[in-house]
Structure 1
Amino acid sequence: MSTPTITHVRAFTVRGGGADYHDQDHGHWIDDHIATPMSKYPEYRQSRQTFGLNVLGTLVVEIEASSGEVGFAVTTGGDIGAWIVEKHLARFVEGQKVTDIEKMWDQMFNGSLFYGRKGIVLNAISGVDLALWDLLGKVRQEPVYHLLGGAVRDELQFYATGARPDLAQQMGFIGGKLPLHHGPAEGEEGLRKNLELLADMRQRVGDDFWLMYDCWMSLDVNYATRLAQKAQEFGLKWIEEALPPDDYWGYAELRRNVPKGMLVTTGEHEATRWGFRMLLEMGCCDIIQPDVGWCGGITELIKISALADAHNALVVPHGSSVYSYHFVITRHNSPFAEFLMMAPQADKVVPMFNPLLLDEPVPVNGRMKVPDRPGFGVRLNPDCALTRPYSR
């Protein structure tokens, strides 16, 4: 049999949830006074949407093969990402064999190096890469995790990210990660409130349930160190993304300063093997957390994970639904996964990229078997209004 080739690449955008999970209605926990790099400005402190966290929207990439199959993937990127896919990246994909994913990734990355390297360009490359893996799985009638070498465990286990770790415990998750609400600009009172919330949650969940703090790039080394040292009393398992992603030196210092046994984690906003090489070689963290929709896709995550394995670091991808599930189930150094609680009050389990994906699996009692369906095993919801802003 001849190998199918790629005939068409298409890029769409959609608003309201999906991969851009910050694109939510008012009143959602994910937008409720969460510390950010913009929290130094009082006018941008209460809502992350006020400084534009929801402006991008979701990018949907479709890739069609000569044999008729269509692979797709979703990430953040909106109109900007769609332009990059349609006007630049498509030339490296159309006409290629569906199996030549490594070559296509290399050409997309090096072809955009003069203006890319990280950020929105890597989001776009990631979206194309994930769609290519979805397409290859559909052509071969196998789930992506089979293509990656097969499962190393029977099921995934999850911790939950959201405002109510106590409810997550009742739902069977192994831990709960809280958003940090107050940053350095809110002074001692803010620090006290952060610790009071942690103390309250520890009292609710008992001693053995994991509790973590997601600081979303909002702190400096001094504040993060003080928070970690004071949080030791309440059994904080890790402090996540405390500093801006380019402050490798600060992360290395923070890791040296945190209490013994507490983990430093980061990498959600890092990209490519070269960015993660900096984190690992400089001793910045114990767990890296690449987002497969932002770091370069599955193709790059394979390399990042191998690099981490050589440094005895765990890889726990940032919550990215099926795109990380298919990877985590195949890797020994990814022993658990993140699930974002996308219900507005974090009081029930709903699909992470709702409403965009159909057949999106969710944990039951904190566990999940990865569905044995071709590709990533999900479909686009036809009720979601896709727009193709830059058709060719």
Structure 2
Amino acid sequence: MGTAVIRQVRASVVRGGGADYHDQSEGHWIDDNISTPMSKYPAYRKSRQSFGINVLGTVVVEIETDGGHYGFAVTTGGEPAAFIIERHLARFLEGRKVTDIELMWDQMYNATLYYGRRGIVLNAISGVDLALWDLLGQVRQEPVHAMIGGAVRDEIRFYATGARPDLAKQMGFIGGKMAVRHGPAQGAEGVHAELQRLGEMRNAVGDDFWLMFDCWMSLDVNYATKLANAAHEFGLKWIEEALPPDDYWGYAELKRDVPRGMMVTTGEHEATRWGFRLLMEMDCCDLIQPDVGWCGGLTELLKISSLADAHGKLVVPHGSSVYSYHFVCTRQNSPFAEFLMMAPAADKVVPMFTPMLEGEPVPVDGRLKISALDKPGFGVKLSQDITLERPYTH
């Protein structure tokens, strides 16, 4: 392993599902009347794809060593991320030992500070970082979870994000999270419609099943506070990402004003330890939800998690399948995980990154045994049925 040196980095683009899970065909629940920051414009209210949520596509990062070892990862970012990886980030990897992960992360981040810090640049860095961990696992013939401290439990429990919490309960999940459909532009009528749907779902699942609202950055403090307080009678467990990611002051106010026992959660669109430090030091939330494919990769997520642990905050990553499972099973402050229901009608369990990965494990009865993660690296392979397009080279 001491002589394993990175020889080549490649970045390719894939369309149609995968890491860019919003890139779905017509009729999928994930694109059906979900409240967004663009919902204030009627023309963009019905479909998230109408304002371009799926324009980026998936980027696939592949890394090879001079000895023939191979690692890869996928995330959102498409062609712009591929350009950044090929034309800028690759120089900090090629010729390095596969064990130099911390050094490579630091150089990628600092070299892109003048145009990066978050967003698509951090997506690109995250994809590279995940591919590096997969590569190191292939070299060592160890699963990623074993290399970051080892599992602290025998299985992972999941809640389901989708349009049908009632079906999720039947499948064994511990809770169901629904996307809010109405925002401030719909006023009191929107709050009433959300409460009616929540009440119907509570009647369907009973008192002990978790129900949560995912607001996808689309509300303001006033509307979110009214919705949270009105939803308390239906046992809403948490209200998620109610405000724009940069409104730390609004989140702090919302957390102070929601009913006692209801959690405020956010962080899906936050990045790096510095962004999450603001969330925690300003007491903006009870639970953070970094996406390991967007926040800076596994290397950064480990630092974010340690910071959260010191602040008494839970860490439940946003989606991201195997890339978060290996993390969750090693952290005491990550007691459960999210599973995105990628079946169009949210009526069955399918791999999150369908149709991109081979060997992608899925929960059975809402649980995943850690033994399912015991293959080298992240334990998955690229499907032979997908078409990779490499738009840039270096």
Q: TM-score, normalised by structure 2?
A: 0.99
Partner residue, 2:169: 169
Matched, 1:341 2:331: no
Partner residue, 2:369: 369
Partner residue, 2:235: 235
Partner residue, 1:284: 284
2:180 maps to a residue whose letter is L
Offset, 1:136? 0.1
Offset, 1:190? 1.4
Partner residue, 1:72: 72
* Aligned residues of 2:2 and 2:97 also touching (Cα < 8 A): no
1:279 maps to a residue whose letter is L
Residue number among 375, 379, 382 corresponding to 1:380 in the alignment = 382
Q: Measure the CA separation in 2 of the matches of 1:320 and 1:213.
A: 19
1:367 maps to a residue whose letter is R
Q: Measure the CA separation in 2 of the matches of 1:200 and 1:360.
A: 34
2:95 maps to a residue whose letter is G
Q: Measure the CA separation in 2 of the matches of 1:41 and 1:321.
A: 33
Aligned-residue CA RMSD (Å): 0.6
Partner residue, 1:53: 53
Q: Measure the CA separation in 2 of the matches of 1:382 and 1:184.
A: 45
2:7 partner SS = strand
Partner residue, 2:92: 92
1:81 partner SS = helix
Offset, 1:90? 0.2
1:384 maps to a residue whose letter is I
Q: Measure the CA separation in 2 of the matches of 1:200 and 1:160.
A: 18
Alignment of 1:204-219 (within 5 A): 204-219=204-219
Q: Measure the CA separation in 1 of the matches of 2:305 and 2:166.
A: 31
**Deviations 1:326-379 (CA, angstroms, capped at 9, x unpaired):** 000000000000000000000000000000000000000000023210000000
Alignment of 1:286-305 (within 5 A): 286-305=286-305
* Aligned residues of 2:61 and 2:131 also touching (Cα < 8 A): yes
Q: Measure the CA separation in 2 of the matches of 1:16 and 1:196.
A: 34
1:322 partner SS = helix
Q: How many residues align?
A: 392
2:287 maps to a residue whose letter is I
Offset, 1:187? 1.6
1:176 partner SS = strand
Offset, 1:66? 1.5
Q: Measure the CA separation in 2 of the matches of 1:2 and 1:43.
A: 57
Partner residue, 1:101: 101
- Once superposed, which parts of structure 1, at least 4 consecutive aligned residues long, lie more than 6 Å away? none
Partner residue, 1:14: 14
Offset, 1:3? 2.8
Matched, 1:308 2:318: no
Q: Measure the CA separation in 2 of the matches of 1:249 and 1:230.
A: 22
Partner residue, 1:201: 201
Q: Measure the CA separation in 1 of the matches of 2:165 and 2:124.
A: 33
1:147 maps to a residue whose letter is M
Offset, 1:382? 1.2
Alignment of 1:105-254 (within 5 A): 105-254=105-254
Q: Measure the CA separation in 1 of the matches of 2:2 and 2:379.
A: 25
Offset, 1:391? 1.7
* Aligned residues of 2:272 and 2:300 also touching (Cα < 8 A): yes
Unaligned runs of 5+ in 2: none
Offset, 1:7? 0.3
1:363 partner SS = coil
Offset, 1:191? 1.3
1:386 maps to a residue whose letter is L
2:260 maps to a residue whose letter is K
1:178 maps to a residue whose letter is M
Q: Measure the CA separation in 1 of the matches of 2:40 and 2:266.
A: 21
2:80 partner SS = helix
Q: Measure the CA separation in 1 of the matches of 2:119 and 2:19.
A: 15
**Deviations 1:289-325 (CA, angstroms, capped at 9, x unpaired):** 0000000000000000000000000000000000000
**Deviations 1:64-91 (CA, angstroms, capped at 9, x unpaired):** 0112111000000000000000000000
* Aligned residues of 2:182 and 2:194 also touching (Cα < 8 A): yes
Q: Measure the CA separation in 2 of the matches of 1:190 and 1:230.
A: 12
* Aligned residues of 2:19 and 2:353 also touching (Cα < 8 A): yes
Q: TM-score, normalised by structure 1?
A: 0.99
Offset, 1:186? 1.2
**Deviations 1:95-139 (CA, angstroms, capped at 9, x unpaired):** 000000000000000000000000000000000000000000000
1:303 partner SS = helix
Partner residue, 1:272: 272
2:174 maps to a residue whose letter is I
